[in-house]
Structures are given as structure tokens and as C-alpha cells.
Amino acid sequence: MPTFEIGERDFLLDGRPFQVISGALHYFRVHPDQWADRIRKARLMGLNTIETYVPWNFHAPEPDEFDLAGRRDLGRFLDLVAAEGLRAVVRPGPYICAEWDGGGLPAWLFADGSAGVRRHDPAFLEAIGTYYAHLLPVVAERQVTRGGPVLMVQVENEYGAYPGVPADERTRYLRALVDLTRAQGIDVPLFTCDQADDEHLSLGGLPELHKTANFGSRSLERLAVLRRHQPTGPLMCTEFWDGWFDSWGLEHHVTAPETTAADLDDLLGAGASVNLYMFHGGSNLGLTNGANDKGTYLPITTSYDYDAPLSEHGAPTAKFHALRAVIAKHAPVPDEVPVEPAPAPELDVVLDRRVALDGVLDLVSGRTSRTSSAQPPTMDDLRQWSGFVLYGTRVAADDAVLVADEVRDRALVAVDGDPVGVLDRTTHAWSVPLPRRAGTLTLLVEDRGRVNYGPRIGEPKGIVGPVRTATRELTDWEAVPLRLDVAPGLLTDAVWQPAGDDAAPVAGPSFHRGTFGSVAGADHFLRLDGWSRGLAWVNGELLGRYSGQGPTGTVYVPGPLVRAEGNELVLLELHGAAAPRARFVAAPDLGPTEA
């Protein structure tokens, strides 16, 4: 049987030195009908390996569910990697960071406060054991030692950057993960990765596991730091950051192809192995994006283009060609290069039907999940792990102002259905003036993505803490979890109103619907100028959030979702639009970059 080992100086594949030249490609960020195309293009760039994380919460949306089908068919993804003649590296977490909702840790795990986050904690470890028992057989049977593509498996992720855990507990926790991994038949080498400095590398690993480092510049310097912590064996950069992620409200991040290429050249010239993070970023489809909060809460955009060599829609970029040329200096690269995709179809869509969210609450809420309580429950109390909850209570004429301790992450405040303001975690906007009349107060609270890095991982969402007015603390709350991620499917019986150009404008959260014909199977780029913020679906598939905050100016619509006729575009617009029109444009607009 084939072998993959960590030698004195090199990785050894069947006993021979093997330089891993890998690229990250997350199956969970790419439509499954496009997996083979993206993998093939990785081979054409000269990569010999594909690396993917596994997000636990993507496979286990509830404690008693585990889904490995369709978009979640990791086995099929790894088989496609093998079919292309490539190897694989798998990083199953349990924590993955990755700008993914909660860093991949399921919110249900922390809802009752009994499981420690990334600690040697019985409840946490027991849940990981169950996760691994469901997932790892898929990986185990595809290890190189059984004739499959999987060379290595990572344990945890940049654990050295996680604060607040004593050194001895770190060791016990990582050892427990190793035992749980080995118990599922994983026999290939295990490794850890950490940011390339002494503190992180010394806190994040185990003496018996191979250490690797993450960085995106100054390769030789960083390899020297890694060498201090990993005195023998191959050097590997597990995350060679060749681009960066985007957050709503900031600029679109880009890195110069020639700088990235020079740093990669240094790395490969030193004989080190590498995993480009990312080779192809893809999209945060649905409600899957994470967020950072280092004092300012910054959710990640729907696009995870990452300024990676292969763009969000699978086009080779200048960086693709630059990195391919560098790889060709060190390893064989196929002659073929991927073709540029044709411009996407351009068309206008009139969203000629609409219905206010208020009018369809019964259809989009779990009918039995209304909860009345003195204090507002968190979303996690309601077992709502993402999306929206509608909170309601009464206000009096002299309440004057609404003040919240903290809302995670954004609330549209209305009185008797009329919008009166917004509470927003990003801008620390915690108060809204109220009209001087009694009425029903509602807060439509949106979880904009669970924090994926640092000590806030595992925190609850929704209204957290008391909500006051100028005169009192508000009580007698009703809270209704909404199933907006699947809203179009729930709205088939809704009474949609005509909403052509002559219809009276509306303000406040509303669904808008239009149909269009186009080129079946072609990628599209949805442009929503004049719209504010919300969610967008094509043919019932939630593409993700759009926001006029930018930077991203278009939403990527994967070609496999598009038919020749009868396509349905649905928007949930949270504020209001200038005109009921959307446009599909020829190319993506990822937004302004730093000057």
C-alpha cells in the first residue's frame, strides 16, 4: 500500500521526497456542479494537492443531524480531487476560523453554556467525538494508505492564537483531539498550523505533531522562525495568504501578483511545501459568513473571492498566471491554461410582485415558536442558530427613546410597522428616538454572522441584556424566529401584490419577486443599485446577503442555478428600494480597493 510520511528533511510519498504544492478550495463555498472545474484548474496552475477545511456546523445544523449529501458530500469532493490526479489535505477542525459562521463550531453546542469552547472540557470533547465518528470515516477510507488522495490531516487551527487556556490544558486538549482522530482510523500524519511567530508556534502545537506555519510575506524569515519550533522534517506554510477576505463597509482587499509570486518563489526555492490560502475562494452562500470583532464587529461579505488566483466565478486572474509561472520553475506544470469565461449575460429584471414581511409572518415563522417572556430571549435561547428573529412588545407615548445594552447584530426598529431607526453593533448605535405615541414596538434582529476568531467565539446572538426606554425597562416580549433562509419556498401561497413602476413605494422589510429568461448554466452577476440591504435568492437558492455598504457591488449567481426560462429572482429588501428593478451585469464588481 502507498505511504506518506514525514522524513528527516522531506515529506516522503512512497519513500520518495514530495514537495506539497497545494491550494485551498472549500467545497462548501462552491456549487457542487462546479467542483470538478475548479479542481481541474488547480491542476492546470501546477498544484499537486487540494486542501479543504470541514465546517462542523455545515454538516451538523442541529445536534441530532449529520448531512454528507449534495453540497455537503465531502467524499465526492475528495473523489473528484483523486480523479484529477491530485492529492488532498483535510482540516476538519473542530474549529476552522476560515471567515465561516462561528469558525465552524455549531452554535447549538454552546447554547446552554455547559460546553467549554476549544478547551479540554468533557461536553466539548464528547460532541467532537460524535462529529468525528460521523465525518472521519469519509476521510479515513480515502487516505493515501488505502489508495486514496488524503496525505495529511490537521488538528485544531492556529490554536496558539486562542487566548486564555493554560499551557497544560492546551496539551491535554490537543492530545485528546489526536486520540479522537486516530480512533476513527486516521493513520496518515497529523499536523498543526500556527501564525509564524514564537509565541503562537510554542503555544499551538504538540512535540509529537508536525508543526507548520501560516504567513503571506517574508517567506524565508518566517521559515527560519518555523525551523526553531520544528527542528527536523519538511517545512510547510499551511496558509500562504495570497489574498485576503473582505468585510462589509471596508475596501476590497487585493495583493499585488508580483509580490505574492516573489514570496512564493522564495518558499518553493527553499524546498518548503505550501498550501495557497486560497487557490479559489468561492462565496459565502446562504447565511454562512463569519465575522471578526476586535472592538468593531465586522461581518464578512458574501463574496469570498479573496483576490485568489482563481476568481470567485472560476476565472484565471493575473495572479493565476504569475503563480503558475513561479510553480513552473520548481515543478512540472501542464501546458494547458484555463480559458477566460465569456462575459455574463446582461439583462434587466423588473421585480413586479411584492409582499411586505409583516403580511407573511405566519408563513415564514415557525408557527409554534412564539415565546412570551419578561426579558427578551437571545436567538440561542430560541434555538435559532442564524438569520432573523422578530421581537415585539408595547411602547407608551412617553417612552421617548429606545436604548439597548447590546443587540447582535442589527435591529430594524418599527412602531406599528413604521420604521423608526436601526440599532447596529458595528457602529455601536444603541439608541433610537421613538414617536410620541403608544403602539407596538418591533425589532427585527439579524444575526449577521457569528464571530469566527478570538474570545467571542460561542457568544449568543439576538437581543443580549435589557432594553430600556427613557422611563423604564421594557418587558413582556414576544419573540418569533423567522425561517427567512428558505423564505421563497414558504411564500408560494402568499398574496403577492403587483409592484410595477406605477405602484406606490413601500418602506420597511418586503419581499420582491421577478422572473427572467437567460442563458441556461451561465454565471450571472446581480447588481442591486438603488437597493439597500437584504437577502437574494435565485430559483429558491439563497445566494447570501447584499448590502449597499459595499465593498462588493455584485452578487455572484453560480451558473448551475440558472435555467433558460422561468427563473425566479426574490429579494428580501430590509429598508426600501428606489425602483423595483435589478440588473444582471457582464462582470463582477468586488468594489473599491485601497488607493
Vertex 109 angle, CA 107 and 114, to 5°: 125
Q: Which DSSP state fits 29?
A: G
- Closest distance between ligand GLA and the C-beta of residue 311, in Å? 17
104 residue type, one letter: G
Contact 519/562 with Cβ under 8 angstroms? yes
- Closest distance between ligand GLA and the C-beta of residue 161, in Å? 8
Peptide linkage before 493 cis (omega within 30 of 0):
no
Q: Quick one: three-class SS letters along 75-119?
A: HHHHHHHHHCCCEEEEECCCCCCCCEHHHHCCHHHCCCCCCCCCC
| Complex with ligand GLA: residue 26 or 461, whichever CB lies closer | 26
Contact 255/243 with Cβ under 8 angstroms? yes
- Closest distance between ligand GLA and the C-beta of residue 466, in Å? 34
Which residues are paired to 96 by β-bridges?
Answer: none
- Closest distance between ligand GLA and the C-beta of residue 307, in Å? 11
CA pair distance 124, 136, nearest whole angstrom: 17
Residues in the chain: 595
Collect all residues with Cβ–Cβ distance below 8 Å to 444 and sequence separation of at least 6: 357, 388, 389, 390, 391, 411, 412, 414, 509, 574
| Complex with ligand GLA: residue 193 or 420, whichever CB lies closer | 193
- Closest distance between ligand GLA and the C-beta of residue 280, in Å? 14
Q: Count CB-CB contacts under 10 A for residue 547.
A: 20
| Complex with ligand GLA: residue 193 or 344, whichever CB lies closer | 193
| Complex with ligand GLA: residue 98 or 522, whichever CB lies closer | 98
Collect all residues with Cβ–Cβ distance below 8 Å to 379 and sequence separation of at least 6: 385, 389, 408, 445, 447, 460, 461, 462, 481
CA pair distance 289, 299, nearest whole angstrom: 7
Classify burial at 286, counting beta carbons within 10 Å of its beta carbon; exposed 0-12, middle 13-18, buried 19 or more. buried
| Complex with ligand GLA: residue 212 or 378, whichever CB lies closer | 212
- Closest distance between ligand GLA and the C-beta of residue 205, in Å? 14
| Complex with ligand GLA: residue 215 or 511, whichever CB lies closer | 215
Q: Quick one: three-class SS letters along 475-500?
A: CCEEEEEECHHHHHHHCCCCCCEECC
Q: Where are the beta strands (DSSP E) in 429-523?
A: 431-433, 439-447, 462-469, 477-482, 497-498, 510-516
Query: How many helices (H) and strands (E) would you count in the chain?
Result: 11, 32
- Closest distance between ligand GLA and the C-beta of residue 579, in Å? 37
Q: Is 99 in the active site? A: no
Of the residues 51, 99, 239, 312, only one is catalytic, namely 239
- Closest distance between ligand GLA and the C-beta of residue 239, in Å? 5
Q: Is 446 in the active site? A: no
533, containing H or E segment:
strand 533-538
CA pair distance 428, 407, nearest whole angstrom: 9
| Complex with ligand GLA: residue 304 or 511, whichever CB lies closer | 304
Of the residues 158, 312, 446, 459, only one is catalytic, namely 158
Q: Please, what's the b/e burial string for 50-82 (b: 16 or more CB within 10 A of its CB; e: otherwise)?
A: bbbbbbbbbbbeeeeebeeeebbbbbbbbbbbb
Residues that bind ligand GLA (CB under 6 A): 96-99, 157-158, 214, 239, 245
| Complex with ligand GLA: residue 173 or 241, whichever CB lies closer | 241
- Closest distance between ligand GLA and the C-beta of residue 296, in Å? 17
Contact 195/214 with Cβ under 8 angstroms? yes
Q: Count CB-CB contacts under 10 A for residue 158.
A: 21
Grid cell digits, residue 132: 468525528
- Dihedral sign, Cα of residue 142, residue 29, residue 572, residue 408: positive
Residue with the closest Cβ to ligand GLA? Answer: 97
What region does 340 belong to: left with phi over 0, alpha with psi -120 to 50, or beta? beta
Grid cell digits, residue 400: 421617548
Please tell me the number of Cα atoms within 13 Å of 307 on its side-chain side.
18
| Complex with ligand GLA: residue 157 or 365, whichever CB lies closer | 157
- Closest distance between ligand GLA and the C-beta of residue 97, in Å? 3
Which residues are paired to 316 by β-bridges?
Answer: 310
| Complex with ligand GLA: residue 99 or 305, whichever CB lies closer | 99
| Complex with ligand GLA: residue 214 or 510, whichever CB lies closer | 214
- Closest distance between ligand GLA and the C-beta of residue 91, in Å? 9
Catalytic positions, written as ranges: 158, 239
